[in-house]
Amino acid sequence: MTIHKEGYGLILGTAIGVLASNLLLRQFAGDITWLTTLWLVASLIFFFIILQFFRKPTRKTVVNPNHIIAPCDGKVVVIEEVIETEYFNGPRRQISIFMSPVNVHINWNPIAGVVQYFKYHKGKYLVAWHPKSSTENERTTTVLRSPSGVEVLFRQVAGALAKRIVWYVQEGQQVAQGSEMGFIKFGSRVDVYVPLDAIINVNLEEKTTGGETILAILK
């Protein structure tokens, strides 16, 4: 396991802040041992929380053109038929995965194919499990078209803590299944819209492993 590139700047800044704050506290309140010790422990815990958030685990995607894999770690919070209005303008099955602050926040491409559509939307920062977060929060929409012509849409959705969504794709780009698509900083969710005839392979409350868990199987 390594550290993701998106965390380099924040981790360095946090480390400098932790070091500087502890040195200053020792200089001005060094005789108050309980205070300096408490702050040292608290600041180190905070640093390691930031560090673990940007961890980058090794994932092994079993490539299969009939599988739609989970684009992120988290917990399945929605499985329902909806009308998708941004791109398809028709019914699709929505699978939503909530990513808590302790989850890995890398996003992976759920299928192989060409980026048929991409758009970034500015928006609000409602809690990620709010029903309107998919349409009102800061988000991106990506549609991948497989070699067989099947299209899968997925959205990176910012949560109440997430203030920045990062993506590495653009329209016309060819992507591999399980390759990195982007990163969402802190709490968030990802919505995946699959064809109605796809066989759903997960259940509500089930935990997913990004790049590995099979969300649905295409017919």
> Does residue 61 lie in a domain region?
no
Which token pair is 94? Answer: 């929505």
Residues 6 or more apart whose CB falls under 8 angstroms from that of 113 comprise: 144, 145, 146, 147, 152, 174, 175
pTM, whole model, 2 decimals?
0.87
Q: In Å, how far from its chain's centre is CA 59?
A: 15
| Residues noted as catalytic | 188
Task: Mark whether 126 and 43 lie in a shared domain.
Answer: no
Task: Mark whether 169 and 79 lie in a shared domain.
Answer: yes
Task: Mark whether 35 and 77 lie in a shared domain.
Answer: no
Owning domain of residue 42: 2-56
- Distance, CA of 204 to CA of 152 (rounded, Å): 20
Query: Domains in the chain: how many in total?
Result: 2
Q: pLDDT (tens digit, 9 = 90+) per residue, 24-42? A: 998 888 788 998 999 999 9
**Distance of CA 144 to CAs 2, 82, 170, 176, 192, Å?**
28, 19, 11, 10, 11
Find the mean pLDDT for residues 98-126. 90
Give the model's confidence band at 124: pLDDT under 50 very low, under 70 low, under 90 confident, else very high. Answer: low
Task: Mark whether 171 and 94 lie in a shared domain.
Answer: yes
